[in-house]
Chains A and B, each alone.
Chain A
Amino acid sequence: EAGVTQFPSHSVIEKGQTVTLRCDPISGHDNLYWYRRVMGKEIKFLLHFVKESKQDESGMPNNRFLAERTGGTYSTLKVQPAELEDSGVYFCASSRPGTGAYNEQFFGPGTRLTVL
């Protein structure tokens, strides 16, 4: 099966600009997650979708971040306006539907965002 894909692989923008990251999960995976690693820090959870519904967005840093998953397929993460501290690698992951699953999450390669 095809893995989780993310686009773009790299993005360099100036402070104040808008960037939209895209994630295509593995087909059939209802659960979709966004994580990020900012410079020198651990990978941190941002939010979790089940199909098109946000189940947990406790990790979203502020209202400059907006995640959507229209139709329960691919997801986008928009940063508007971007700030310097948003620089880092943004990972998307997906996992199979619940009931008996053991929470193995399949990660994409990440999008490296640089805000100048």
Chain B
Amino acid sequence: LAKTTQPISMDSYEGQEVNITCSHNNIATNDYITWYQQFPSQGPRFIIQGYKTKVTNEVASLFIPADRKSSTLSLPRVSLSDTAVYYCLVGSNQAGTALIFGKGTTLSVSS
């Protein structure tokens, strides 16, 4: 199973762009990269998923280099409400696959 490594914590100010990088050197050919967000007293929430290159949705962008050994979650113009823990997960994208969580990155956004 591919292990992920990401910063324990990051600080930012409102309006800034935040980039959280995740390392996954042992990613398998069939693995996808998925990011979840978790607010206090809530369960994790899916943000974005990708396999290679770049994926963008209304919440974030995900950049994946050609070797797929790392990925970067980009949050444009963060606000106070983006303060949360962000998890980088690597694994199959097939329904029914157990998610493997690491420690995540605690993002703190201040004004």
Contacts and interface: CB of A to CB of B under 8 A. Distances in A.
A110 interface: yes
Contact of A31 (B41, B45, B96, B100): B96
A105 interface: yes
Interface in B93-109: 93-104
Contacts of B49: 102, 104
B95 A96 contact: yes
A43 B46 contact: no
Contact of B100 (A4, A45, A95, A101): A45
B92 interface: yes
A108 interface: yes
A56 B98 contact: yes
B29 interface: no
Contacts of B44: 43, 91, 105, 107
Contact of A107 (B43, B95, B96, B97): B43
Interface residues of A, number: 30
A3 to B, nearest CB: 9
Interface in B1-52: 32, 34, 41-46, 49
Contacts of A113: none
A97 B43 contact: no
A64 interface: no
B95 A33 contact: no
Interface in B78-99: 92-99
Given A103-B92, A103-B93, A33 B98 contact: yes
Given A56-B98, A104-B46, 9 more contacts: A4-B43, A33-B98, A44-B101, A56-B96, A91-B43, A98-B94, A102-B93, A107-B44, A110-B42
Interface of B: 32, 34, 41-46, 49, 92-104
Interface of A: 4, 31, 33, 35, 42-45, 48, 50, 55-56, 59, 91, 93, 95-99, 101-110
